[in-house]
Amino acid sequence: MKIAILNDTHCGVRNDMVEMSEYQGRFYEEIFFPYLDKHDIKHIIHMGDYFDRRKFINFASMQRNIEHFVKPMQDRGITMDLIIGNHDTYYKNTNEVNSPALLLYGQPNITVYEEPIVKDYDGLDIALVPWINNENYADNIEFFQSAPAPICMGHFEIEGAMMNPAMVCSHGLSASYLKRFEKVYSGHFHHKTDIENIRYVGSQMQFTWSDFGDEKYFHIFDTDTREMLPVHNPLTMFEKAFYNDTEKTFETIANDDYEKYRGKFVKVIVIEKENPYWFDTFLDKLHGVNPLHVSVVDDNKHMDFFDDEEIENIEDTLTILSKYVEGLEIQGKKKELDKIMKSLYHEALEEHNFL
């Protein structure tokens, strides 16, 4: 049996931006469902964060999600097991009130799991584990010790995992609790990474500048071979345009193809700008394909080599925080204070829907 794996689809992402909903719709229509049709795949496991905002949903975003994902799934007779992620829960200390159970209620082909469970998929037992919080922490630890399954899929926050290419998670569940499983697959962090026997498969789509240059995949799990096959999503929402008029002529600037920037977030990295008229022409041509947003950065420090969320900053925020703590003239354990500062920073990112 082959199962399609999704996670962190974040319906309503970026404050219910219509263009992001359309981008998500293109992924489902052009990439995801055609692959499932071709390979006759009839079941999906969703590893959490189906919705983006914990407190509410925009009805227009919900309608587009039904049109782009739920109805095409129903029309094909595809079923889905969905476990709860942190963005799906209203409260931080319980999974009891969650958006999938409320908003997808009554969909006969979708089963929402708020508590851990072991399910048989064509003879292979897989443990499905929703978001872990203060209320269910002890029960989950007990579940890990006794669950009769070689494979585990969940929405985990693992200490030591890469949250993005520049940030390591400094708190969360210890990987040692999951070591008895043959393999663990997780949503939550949008960057692909491995830690011991745990694999974060990464998000299937781009949502922020942190995703720039990070190849995106959905996955197909084979219950016979126990292999996880990545399937590439070539659709992007973030592009960088490097401008250097010492290596161009006016004709090449005027006649370049700018179509790849249409409907996308674009950062223009200015390496050399000797002719203002040429640069204005470049910007006119760029805006002519209707990008979603354009920002211009003068690259006087060769910052195109950095992948930070904000390219203007050489040092990432966590590095600045750590250096600040280190420089404080205080008595006590600076290491513990550093951990608290990083934890608060991570909580702020989560609250503003970056994780």
Note the Cα 228 to chain centre separation in Å. Answer: 18
Q: Which of 315, 340, 316, 346 is nearest to 158 (CA)?
A: 346
Selected residue with higher pLDDT from 118 and 299? 118
Calpha distance 2→297 (Å, rounded): 46
Q: Would you state the pLDDT for residue 352? A: 55
How many other β-carbons are positioned within 10 Å of the β-carbon of residue 133?
Answer: 17
Q: How does pLDDT run across 226-242, given as a tens digit for each residue?
A: 999 999 999 999 999 99
Residue 354 has pLDDT above 80, yes or no: no
CA 119, 34, 220: angle at the middle one, nearest 5? 35
Calpha distance 219→183 (Å, rounded): 15
Q: Which of 222, 329, 311 is nearest to 267 (CA)?
A: 311
Interacting residues of 243 by C-beta distance below 8 A, sequence separation 6+: 268, 269, 270, 271, 272, 273, 279, 282
Q: Which of 62, 46, 74, 67 is nearest to 11 (CA)?
A: 62
Are 48 and 131 within 8 A, CB to CB? yes
- What's the whole-model pTM score? 0.85
**φ, ψ for residue 319 (rounded to 5)?**
-65, -40
Q: Would you state the pLDDT for residue 307? A: 47
pLDDT bin (cut points 50, 70, 90) of residue 187 is very high
> Three-class SS of residue 240?
strand
Q: Which of 175, 206, 205, 223 is nearest to 6 (CA)?
A: 205
Q: Would you state the pLDDT for residue 330? A: 72
Q: What are the strands, taking DSSP E only, across the chain?
A: 2-6, 43-46, 79-83, 110-113, 117-121, 124-129, 151-154, 162-164, 167-168, 183-186, 193-195, 198-200, 216-222, 227-233, 238-244, 265-272, 293-298
Strands 227-233 and 238-244: unpaired
Residues 2-11 have a mean pLDDT of: 98
**What is the DSSP-derived secondary structure letter of residue 158?**
B
Are 181 and 148 within 8 A, CB to CB? no
Q: How does pLDDT run across 45-97, given as a tens digit for each residue?
A: 999 999 999 999 999 999 999 999 999 999 999 999 999 999 999 999 999 99
Interacting residues of 152 by C-beta distance below 8 A, sequence separation 6+: 126, 127, 129, 144, 178, 181, 183, 184, 185
Q: Would you state the pLDDT for residue 41? A: 98
